[in-house]
Amino acid sequence: MTRLLSSALAALGILVLSGCNSLPRLDGAYVGPFYTPANVHASARLPVELRRIVILPSSADGPALSESTLDAIDTALRTTLTQSARAEISPLPRDVLGQIAGRRQVVSTSVLPSNFTAFLAEKTGADAALFVDITAYSPYPPLVIGIRSKLIDLKTGEIIWAFDNLFSAADEKVANSARRHLLVSKGTTGTPADLSYTVLQNPARFADYAATATWATLPPR
């Protein structure tokens, strides 16, 4: 028994000396807990006939955000939406939105101009429109971005999907998920240098995580 115990202790010592790569990762970016967006209402599947989605430029509903800030957020929203491969994506320029709606931002909960959805369908050839509201935002740690979004069938007016969540880096689950997203997307999960914490200080990277997590809740095909 003494010999077995000594052998076990020796083996444990070798594992400790060999470094953390031989032991289970206890870092939250690897083991969680992770954040799961909760306030989501969605159809079981996207309609078969839905082939093109027009995404409107984001609107600030709450925080006072400049167009340059909204445009930076739009870059993350549109890039990750295209990567989600749900449908063909057609971005609507803010200038065109201003011509159609008489304003350069359209909050999803506001009263839409008469025949707005019909005009969108005619102008873009899209089957559905995606509205995005930024309900909270802080570019300084702890980073925060609130996203409210709706996918609306342009023919029927039906809401296919609705989303309303707050992503705050102060939330341990959100921080773990954001870091995990960066590790996986950059393919650095096995490297010794852990740069995943940078996502918690970089607004563009944090927005990329939040957008990816948002579109992941869209109905599948």
CATH number at residue 124: 3.40.50.10610
Q: How far apart are CA 138 and CA 168, in angstroms?
A: 9
Does residue 61 lie within any of the structural domains?
yes
Are the CB atoms for 145 and 122 separated by under 8 Å? Answer: no
Does residue 165 lie within any of the structural domains?
yes
Predicted confidence band of residue 66 (pLDDT cuts 50, 70, 90): very high
Does residue 114 lie within any of the structural domains?
yes
> For the chain, how many structural domains are there in total?
1
Residue 26's alpha-carbon distances to 6, 14, 29, in angstroms, are 27, 19, 8
Does residue 26 lie within any of the structural domains?
no
Q: pLDDT averaged over the chain?
A: 88
Does residue 31 lie within any of the structural domains?
no
Q: How far apart are CA 15 and CA 26, in angstroms?
A: 15
Predicted confidence band of residue 192 (pLDDT cuts 50, 70, 90): low
Does residue 12 lie within any of the structural domains?
no
What is the domain range of residue 135?
Answer: 38-169+204-215
Report pLDDT for 10.
Answer: 44
